[in-house]
Amino acid sequence: MTKDKLASEMGHDHKMAMSHMDHDMADMDMDDMGGDMMMHGGHMMHMGNLKQKFWVSLVLTLPILLLTSFMGLTQPLITFSGSEWVVAVIGTVLFFYGGKPFFSGAIGELKSKAPAMMTLITMGIGVAYIYSIYSVIANNIFHVTPMVMDFFWELATLIDIMLLGHWIEMNAVMNAGSALDDLAKLLPSSAHKLVEGATQEVPIRDLQEGDHLLVKAGEKIPADGTIVEGTSNVNESMVTGESKQITKHVDDKVFGGSVNGDGTFQLTVTGTGKNGFLAQVMKLVNSAQQEKSAQENLADKVAGWLFYAALFAGILAFIIWLFQTDLATALPVAVTVFVIACPHALGLAIPLVVARSTSIAAKNGLLIRNRNALEQVKDLKYALMDKTGTLTEGDFKVNAYDTLSNQLTKSQALQIFASLEAGSSHPLAVGIVNAAKADQVTFTKAQNVQQLTGVGLSGDVSGQTYQIVSMAYLVQQNIQFEQAKFEQLAANGNSISFLLQDGDVLAYVAEGDAIKPEAKHLIAALKQQDITPVMLTGDNAQTAQKVAQTLGITEVRAQLLPEDKEKLVREYQTKGKVLMIGDGVNDAPSLARANIGIAIGSGTDVAIESADVVLVKSNPNDVVEFLNLARKTTRKMTENLWWGAGYNILAIPLAAGVLAPIGFVLSPMAGAVLMSLSTVIVAINALTLKLGQTEI
C-alpha cells in the first residue's frame, strides 16, 4: 500500500467499524486514560487521593511512635497518664481513615469470590487493630498481668508503607499509560470556525462533521477534513512517519494533529476528535491495554495460588506458635505472613510491562492490537509476507503495453484498460490510469465494474464487456496465448495484466514495481534471528523470483489466491509458529490465521480487524522494531514474574518463622517494607523498558 493510498483511505472513512469515542480526545484527562491501568493494580480505582491519605496517616503515626514502644524499645519515648487511650483514639482514626481504601478493595475481592492482596492487607491491619484495642482495655480496665503488648505501631507503619507503596505504584501506572495522553495532546485545544464569512474561536469538542474551518500557517490541524480553498505544505509525520512536507491542494485530505506549513487554507471537517484518525489510534492503544496476554493470565493464577498458600501458612504458623508460645507471639507472626505474601507486586508484574510496551509502540507507529503477539515472537520460525506494498513500494509504472488483436489499436487497448481501472485504488490500477494520462489517452469510467477475487476485474466499456486478468488465470483456464513472449517481461520484474473478451486475449500491459529500500534489511534481520522469510504473492512466478533473488529470499510461492495464502499459513504452522506480513486487504485471511499478523499500512477496516499489529509508517524495518520490542517486553515480563512470585516464595517461610531457632523472625513492619519494596522494584523495572537499538 502506498503512502498516498494510505492517507487517502484513512481520510475516506474514519469510523472503520468503530463506535464513537466516549469523550473528545482533547478532553480526556489522565483519569480517563489511566482508569484501566489503575484496575491492573488491584483496586486502585477505589484508592481515592493516596497522596493525601499517606501524608495525613504519616502525621497521625508520629504521636503513635512517640507514645508506644517500638523497634526494640522497652519504654515509650513519651509517657503520661492516659497516653495509651490517646494512642487508641489516634490509632482508631488512622485505622478507619488510612485503611478505608483497603477495606473497599477487600469487599470487591470477596464479592467477586477472588480474595487476593487487598483481603490480605485488610486481614493484617484488622488483626493488628483488634488485638491492640483488646490490649488497651485489658491493661487499663482489667489490669491483667503480665501486660498485653499492643500493635499500634505495627498497624500505623503498615498502613503508611502500604499507602506509600500504592501511591508510588499509581504514579508508575500513570506514567506507563502516558502514550494515550501524548496522542490526545497532538490535537490543538481550539479551532477557527467560519460562520457566515466570520471566524469564531471554538473548542474542538464542539466541532461537527461538515463544519468549515480556517487553518493558519504554523498551526496544528484541529480535525480531519478535506481542503476546499487554499494550498499549503503539511507535515504528516504522525500519519506517515516521515517528517517531509507534503503539498496539499483543494480536495486533498488532511488529518487532525498534522502541522500546517507556511500556507493558509480552509477545510470541511470529515472527522472530529471522536471519530478521526487520532481517535482510531487512541482506540487501538486503549483496547490493547485492556486485553490480557497468556502470560498475564498465568500471573493471575500464580497470585491466586500464593493467596491460598499464604492463608494456609499464616494459619498454620499461628497455631504452631500459639501452642509453643502464646497469643502475643503467635499473632505478629501470622500478621507478618499475611503481609509478606500479598501478591500485589505479582499483580502488577505483567500489566505494567505490557502497558509500557504498548505505549512505546504507539509512539513509534506500532499499534499492538493483541498482546499475545508479544509473547509469540520468541517461538517464531517463519515470516510469510506479501510482495506488493510490503516488500515493494506498490507504486507501479507501465513499462510496456500493446494490442494482441486486430480488433484494437494500441491506443484503444490502453483506453479500455484505463476505463476499467478508473474507479480502483489498487496500485496496478493507478499505474495504468497514470500511463493513459501521460499518453493523453481519453477514457471514461467503465460501467458495471466487478472485482474478481484473486483474478482481476470485469466491466462494460462502450457496451462491450471486458475482463482484466493475470497470467495465472490464463494458464488455469487453458486460454491460449504466446506465453514465451511474456516470460522475458516477467523475468525483468514486471507484473503483466491481460485484457480479455469472450475468452480471447486482446492486449497486455506490463508494470514494474520498485523494491522498498528497507526490505533488504528486513530479510537480513529475519535470517539473523533464525526466522525463515517466505514470499507469498498473487503475481507471476518470474516477477516474484526476481524480487526474491534481489532480497535474498529462497522460499517463494507465486500466483496465489487469498485462500491459497491462508492454506499456506496453516501448512507452515505445522512446522512452527508463523508471522504473516501483508497490506491487510487481500491478505486478511492470512493475517487472521497466522500466530502474529502484521498489517503494513493502516486505514482499512480489514487491516484493523485482521492484524495483531498495525504499522502506520508502512516501513518494513518496523517489523524488526516490533520483534525487538517484543523480545525486550517478554524479558521484562519474566523478570517481573520472578520478582513478584519468587520473592513471595522465599519470604513466606521467613515470615512464618523457619529461622526462629537461630533468633531471626520478621516483624510486621519489616514484612511491609519488603513487600512494598518488591512492588516498587517491579514498577521501576517495567518503566525501564525502552525501544533502543535493534537487537538481532
Active site (catalytic) residues: 386
- Please, are residues 601 and 372 in contact by the beta-carbon 8 Å criterion? no
Give the three cell numbers for residue 272: 472530529
How does DSSP assign 223-261, residue by residue?
SEEEEEE--EEEE-HHHHS--SEEEE-TT-EE-TT-EE-
Element (H, E) at 325: none
Give the three cell numbers for residue 396: 507501479
User: Which residue type sits at 425?
Assistant: S
Q: CA-CA distance, 432 to 511, in Å (whole number)?
A: 8
Place of cell 511512635: 65
Residue 577, classified by CB atoms within 10 Å of its CB into exposed (0-12), middle (13-18) or buried (19+), is middle
User: Residue 556 forms beta bridges with which residues?
Assistant: 535
- Please, are residues 236 and 255 in contact by the beta-carbon 8 Å criterion? yes
Radius of gyration of the chain (CA): 33
Output the 3-class SS for 528-554: HCCCEEEEECCCCHHHHHHHHHHHCCC
**Which residues, including other chains, have CB under 8 Å from residue 422's CB and lie 6 or more apart?**
429, 433, 443, 444, 445, 446
User: Residue 463 forms beta bridges with which residues?
Assistant: none
Cis preceding linkage at 533, omega within 30 = no
- Please, are residues 2 and 391 in contact by the beta-carbon 8 Å criterion? no
DSSP type of residue 380: E
Q: Inter-axis angle of helices 647-656 and 344-363, to 10 degrees?
A: 160
The residue among 457, 350, 482 whose CA lies nearest residue 404 is 482
Element (H, E) at 402: strand 397-403
CA distance to 286, 576, 628, per residue, from 692 (Å):
24, 28, 9
Q: CA-CA distance, 72 to 597, in Å (whole number)?
A: 61
Q: CA-CA distance, 590 to 382, in Å (whole number)?
A: 13
How does DSSP assign 165-179, residue by residue?
HHHHHHHHHHHHTHH
Q: CA-CA distance, 170 to 673, in Å (whole number)?
A: 17
CA distance to 96, 203, 299, per residue, from 215 (Å):
55, 14, 50
Give the three cell numbers for residue 324: 509453643
How does DSSP assign 483-527, residue by residue?
HHHHHHHHHTTEEEEEEEETTEEEEEEEEE-PBPTTHHHHHHHHH
Place of cell 472485482: 451
The residue among 468, 479, 406, 396 whose CA lies nearest residue 432 is 396
Q: Inter-axis angle of helices 519-528 and 541-551, to 10 degrees?
A: 70
CB < 8 Å & 24+ apart, contacts of 88-94: 88/132, 88/133, 88/136, 88/152, 90/60, 90/63, 90/64, 91/64, 91/129, 91/132, 91/133, 91/152, 91/155, 91/156, 92/129, 92/133, 93/60, 94/57, 94/60, 94/61, 94/64, 94/155, 94/156, 94/159
